[in-house]
Amino acid sequence: MSNSKKIIGSIVAGATLGVGIYGYMHLSKPEITEANSKSQYVNSVAELKEEPIIGAKMFKANDNYGSLSGTIVKTGEVENSITEVVIAQPDRYYVKFIPNSNDKDVYFEAVNDGKSVQIKEDKGQIVESNPFPTQSIRESQNLKENKKDDNEVKLNLNGTFLPIGNVNEMLHPEMYVQSVFRRGDMNVLGEEKYLERDVTVIEISNAQLKIGDRQKFWIDNKTGIVLKTVLYDDDDEVQSQYFESIEFNNKKNTGTFKLFK
């Protein structure tokens, strides 16, 4: 199987199953309570919500902007990748994914016009699918409809969960809150500037990370979007993912979200 087919195969699988699997694995865990001493979580949702940048922004990122466009770079893998994205809330997007920044002629695209999703591989083949739901996974799966749990992280993907690019946690930062932020020691390092925007820098350590021993996040103060994240092993940077450029509330032509065919 060619590299192109391998890549598009994994992309389509992710587009078809990614949210369902992620939602099931992360949202159908046993309920976390104060009395549950076997919980894998260190930080409760209530504790995290006390930090303004998390409670007011990261949990509600979709509500904090109308549209954005930007370019995200991921380093530290075999090849650095580039993801270009345009999003209009609640359920339209265009994304272009370049798996290897040294070979920009090979790329994949996906578009959601609010009704349908199409993924186009580098050879031009188009795969169609239904958009992911605009409501939270919990609501869409009708799991425990009548039960409220203040210690549960609900993902509000708002129809903008991208099937390619591997950047969803940056755009939907409650995914990071559900995972890394709840499993490690959190330290708010302060505020600084990134891409001429005010950001809050948070470091998470002892979170049983797959790579490295700590992770830092540069979080946009206005929206809660993760503008940059870096994984460290001791003092060495082992992997990073960051917006190279970003623009909020841009007036992009609606033609950006036209289906490929």
Which pLDDT tens digit goes with each residue over 19-29? Answer: 332 332 233 23
Measured between alpha carbons, how far is 6 from 108 in angstroms, rounded to an integer? 12
Cα(206)–Cα(259) distance, rounded to whole angstroms? 44
Could you tell me the end-to-end alpha-carbon distance of the chain, in angstroms, rounded to an integer?
A: 26
Cα–Cα distance, 14 to 71 (Å, whole number): 21
Higher pLDDT, 253 or 68: 68
In this prediction, residue 246 carries a pLDDT of 96
Give residue 117's identity as a one-letter amino acid code: V
pLDDT digits (tens, 9 = 90+) for 186-208: 999 999 999 999 999 999 998 88
| pLDDT at 144 > cutoff 60 | no
Give how far Cα 217 sits from Cα of 170, 228, 229, Å: 10, 6, 4
Report how far residue 126's alpha carbon sits from residue 119's, in angstroms, rounded to the nearest whole number.
Answer: 6
The two tokens of residue 229 are 């994240």
Q: Is the pLDDT of residue 169 over 70?
A: yes
pLDDT at residue 211 in the model? 85
Q: What pLDDT band is residue 237 in, cutting at 50, 70 and 90? A: very high
SS3 56: helix
Phi-psi region of 180 (alpha: psi -120 to 50; beta: other; left: phi over 0): alpha
Q: For all residues of the chain together, what is the average pLDDT?
A: 80
What is the average per-residue pLDDT within 228-246?
95
Task: Output the pLDDT for position 116.
Answer: 92
Name the pTM for this structure. Answer: 0.81
The C-alpha angle 92, 94, 99, rounded to 5 degrees, equals 145
* Strand locations in the chain (E): 67-75, 81-88, 92-98, 108-112, 117-120, 126-129, 185-194, 197-205, 214-220, 226-233, 236-248
Residue 92 has pLDDT above 80, yes or no: yes
Provide mean pLDDT across the span 246-257: 77
pLDDT at residue number 135:
47
Band (pLDDT 50/70/90 cuts) for residue 103 is: very high
- The domains located in the chain, with CATH, are 45-248 (2.50.20.10)
In the predicted model, is pLDDT for residue 30 greater than 90?
no
pLDDT of 253:
59
pLDDT one-digit tens code per residue, 172-184? 999 999 889 998 9
